[in-house]
Structure formats: C-alpha cells, structure tokens
Amino acid sequence: MSHCDNNWNVNLVRFVPLALRIYIVTWNVSTKFPENISLNKLLGLENRPEQDSHLPDFFVIGLQEVNAQPQNTLYNLFKDDLWTQKFKEVLKERDYVVIKTEQMQGLLLSVFARRKHLLHLRQVETEYTRTGLGGIWGNKGAVSIRMNVYGSSICLVNAHLAAHDHMLEERINDYERIVQEQKFHVKAKETIFDHDYVFWFGDLNFRLTGEATTSADEIRAMVARDELKQLIEKDQLLLVRREGRAFAQLQERLPQFPPTFKFEHGSNEYDMKRRPAWTDRILYAVNENNYRNVRLTAEQTSYKSHPSYSISDHKPVTSEFTLKVNRKPQYSGEHFRKQHNNRLSYKLAMANNTDVHSFDDLVTDLIDYGQVYEDTTERTVSFKPIELWLVGEPNTIEYVIPNGFEEGNADWIGIYRENFTSLSEYLAYEYTETYKDKQHQLNEQQLQHMQNTRTVQLTFSENVSLPLGTRYQLLYFQSTGTRGVTGLVGISPAFAVEKRCPSPSFDEID
C-alpha cells in the first residue's frame, strides 16, 4: 500500500489556510493627469485613514493610456510617474508599500501591499509583451507582475488590446500572443496560467456585436431602460469565451453596471461617435487543485464601475477578491519527531508498510514524499541591531543567514528611511558575497559550513551619505539580477545615524 493511501498519513500535516483580500483597479485614463481629483472613493476608502475598516491586503492598480510623452518618460526614470505618486500619497497614510511597478509606454501596473506582508512576498518578477504594429510598438499589449504570497503564486496581467468594433480577430490574436510570449523565470511557473491565481484586467476593448443592426443611440436607450442583461449577451468577450476562442481559462462575473466606454470628457454622457461597450474588464482564474488535500478558492466580493470619475472617456472599474492562500507549516524532520513520536503508532506503520523498520525510516520516508517539510520559501535573514552608524565612515553590519537559505546571484542590502513607502526608495546599497560565486574555491567542509546557519559581515563605504535627524532600516533582497526574480527576505530594526565629533586640536586644549 502506498503511503498516500494511509489515512493516518494523509492528515499528518495540513496547510494553514489564510484569507487575503486583493482590490483591483483598471482605468484607461486617456492621457490625463491626476490633478484635482480624490482617489479615495475609487479605492473604497474613507476620507480619513482612522475611519477605514477592513482594509484590503493588496491594492493592484492597472492603468492604460498613461501620458507617455518623451519628457514624461525621462521624468519617470528618476521619479515615480504622477499617477503612482497620487496613489502612493493616499495609501502611504494607511501603511501600504509599493512592491513593484512596471510600465510599457502607456500601460502601468503597480502593486501595493500592507507592510505586515512584506516578508511573505517572494519571487517577484515583471514581464511585458508588445502587440502594437505586429509587436513592434508598445501602445498595445500587456505588462504583468507575478509573485509568491505566503507560498501561493499570483500572476497579475494589465492589458490594452486592439481597438474598434471590427478588430475582434486582432484582439484575439493579441491575447494569444501575450499568453505565448510572457515567460517568467520561476521554476514551474513559467507561464501566466501556471500560477495558482491569475487576474487579467485592463482596457480589453471588446465591443458589442450587431454593429449593422444596433446603433449607438439604441445601445444608449437600452442602458437607460436598464436592459443590461439583454445587452451583455451581445458582448464580444462573453461570446469568444463561450466559443473557447480566447480567455476561456478565465472567469468573470458578468458586469451589472452600464458600459464604461465611451464618454464625453468631463461628463456622464456617452459620446455617440462610438457605440458604448464594456471595454474595461477584470477576469480571474484559479487552479483549484494545485495542491494535495486542499482546494484553492477566490471569492469575488465586488465588481463595479465608478461613474463619478469623468476626466477620461472611460469609467474606472474595480473588483475585490478574497483568496485562500495555503501557508505551509514550518515543520522540519526533527520537529516532526519531537511532536509526533509519542502520538504515532509504530505498529500501525509496520502493519501498513513492511519496508518501514524504524521510526526514523518512517519520518525520512514521509519527508521525502512531501508530507512533512519545512517551507524554504519563508526563510528570512535576520539583522543584528546596529548600535551606531557614523556618517562619512565605513560601517560594518552583521546579519544571520538561516540554514538552507538559497542566496541569489545578485543579493543586495539596501538602506531605506524608516517607514519607507516603496521598495524602490533605497538610498544606498551593497551587494552581498554569495558563496555560489566562489564555490570552486572552497573545499567540501567549507561548502557545508556555508550551507549552515551563519553570521555574515558586510561593510558599507564611507561614501554613503545619510542625512542626520531621521532613522533608517536595512532591507535584504534575494535577487537573480537585472529584470530577474526578487524577494524581500530581511528587514533590520530601525537605527539612527551620527557624525563623529572632531578631535580637538592642540590649540583648543588648555
């Protein structure tokens, strides 16, 4: 009898269910800037942070047609774009941190997380695909961010597909190209639909069928009569999903709000030069059975448009989901022995499997089979307290690498202001020395030592300039390099900086 067939074996270790809320925004902003508008209502927030209750764990902001003029592109190299700054101003008051932002011309995708989740977000990676002008131009296409959240994998795709009623086949081709070309560098999660959860949103530009028989005026009249159910049956996206031609792997709660395109700027009146349509959508997919003995779920708790925002010819759309992520228990073989030695019946094990000759054999077998394990993706680097950081001098820090921690090829430690609001806000950094770079120089005993828990020192240059009067933190990033996979795996206690008092000169000594 195989081990997975033994009832006592299957239930030895369970995943720890954890519910996380994710709030997604998609908005074609029509090259407008976020001047003189409040984003609180769009984000479901109150006017004052202390009035907010049940905040989401993550905000995902997907924008299309962000102003991407050359002068703005140059500006964005040195600072966040104006939209990201605007969202950050609102969310930093509620202790959210920008995890990652990816932009491809007018497509912009940002992920904000509550600070308490930072050390549980791993293997963050971005990707993009151009589909405009046959893949040459990035005015259409998709940008994506993938990450592991408490061990579950999530892929977020912000897309802007081909426009106009008659371009249905081009939209389908855009979708297929994005699915085929977006490749990540995380093992077993190379494609979009390899992930546990997928959220695909944006200005997908699907229109209503019957262009020759249903005019813009007729569509507007049906909306006015609240005949949305009849109208949605003409929706191209719904039809291609039913036919399996595109987006078939994704689900969508059908919109119960009026078409979000196209409006006169500054108003809630449809622009009759275009037939109204539900161009702005949020879809999702769940690979429910990616893990044994557990079923992944995503509950969509809201899906709505926000007609009060009128700076664009599109209305923004938001949706909120509650995800079940399954945090793996922190079990090692030794922990298992201590916890279960007196609770498991060795005789029962012998009765079910004659190949097991000792309790150690049983534990080893279970660990190898994947029933008992330690979750390596949750290992963190810990910093020793920094007693004194002197400005203008070299400063040596110490941190502890846990047993079995896999250092990346380009791990680095950054200096941040305390209560930083974005992972891109480092003031200075130093690369760590990874043992992978010098394996060929080490003997077997030295290699074994490098794989055990150990304390490491790293010196920051005297050229690191930190303003006095504020406090700082060190962040350890596990990284594979440029456009590679990155994860925050360590945050130091806050520390202050000082400037050494100059030694008195002979003239100053009485």
Tell me: pLDDT of 364 over 80. Answer: no
Q: How many CB atoms lie within 10 A of CB 292?
A: 10
In this model, does residue 353 exceed pLDDT 70? no
pLDDT confidence of residue 170: 97
What integer pLDDT is reported at residue 107 of this predicted model?
Answer: 97
Q: Residue 393 above 90 pLDDT? A: yes
* Cβ-proximal residues to 181 (8 Å cutoff; 6+ apart), any chain: 129
Rounded to an integer, what distance in angstroms lies between the CA atom of residue 284 and that of residue 323? 11
pLDDT at 168: 97
222 vs 435, higher pLDDT: 222
CA distance 339 to 336: 5
Q: Which residues of 175-185 are buried (b: 16+ CB within 10 A; e: fewer)?
A: bebbbebbebe
Mean pLDDT of the chain: 85
- Residues 401 and 407: beta-carbon distance below 8 Å: yes
Residue 134: what pLDDT?
72
Mean pLDDT of 250-255: 97
State the Cα–Cα distance between residues 303 and 280, nearest whole angstrom: 11
Q: Assess whether pLDDT exceeds 80 at residue 424.
A: yes
Specify the pLDDT at position 126. Answer: 97
Q: What is the reported pLDDT for 346?
A: 45
pLDDT of residue 251: 97
Sign of the alpha-carbon torsion through 263, 269, 273, 277: positive
Lowest mean pLDDT across 7-11, 283-287, 299-303: 7-11
Query: What average pLDDT does this structure show over 502-506?
Result: 64
Q: What is the pLDDT of residue 133?
A: 76
Choose between 379 and 146: higher pLDDT. Answer: 146
pLDDT value for 507: 59
Question: Which pLDDT band holds residue 404 (cuts at 50, 70, 90)?
Answer: confident
C-alpha gyration radius of the chain? 27
Q: With bands split at pLDDT 50, 70 and 90, how would you rate the model's confidence at 315?
A: very high
**What is the structure's pLDDT at 236?**
98
Extract the runs of DSSP E, i.e. beta strands, from 220-377: 280-286, 298-305, 317-327
Could you count the other beta carbons within 10 Å of the beta carbon of residue 396? 9
pLDDT at 369 over 50: no
* Alpha carbon distances (Å) from 454 to 87, 231, 385, 404, 451: 40, 64, 16, 10, 8
Please give the backbone phi and psi of residue 109, each rounded to the nearest 5 degrees, phi first: -130, 125
Tell whether the model's pLDDT for residue 370 goes beyond 50.
Answer: no
Mean local confidence (pLDDT), 171-178: 98
Query: What residues contact residue 415 under an 8 Å CB cut-off, 6+ apart?
Result: 426, 427, 428, 429, 460, 464, 466, 472, 473, 474
Each residue's pLDDT tens digit, 84-141 = 999 999 999 999 999 999 999 999 999 999 999 999 999 999 999 999 877 666 689 9
Going by C-beta distance under 8 Å and a sequence separation of 6 or more, which residues neighbour residue 352?
1, 6
State the average pLDDT over residues 19-28. Answer: 97
Task: Please compute the mean of the pLDDT values over residues 159-172 and round it to a whole number.
Answer: 97
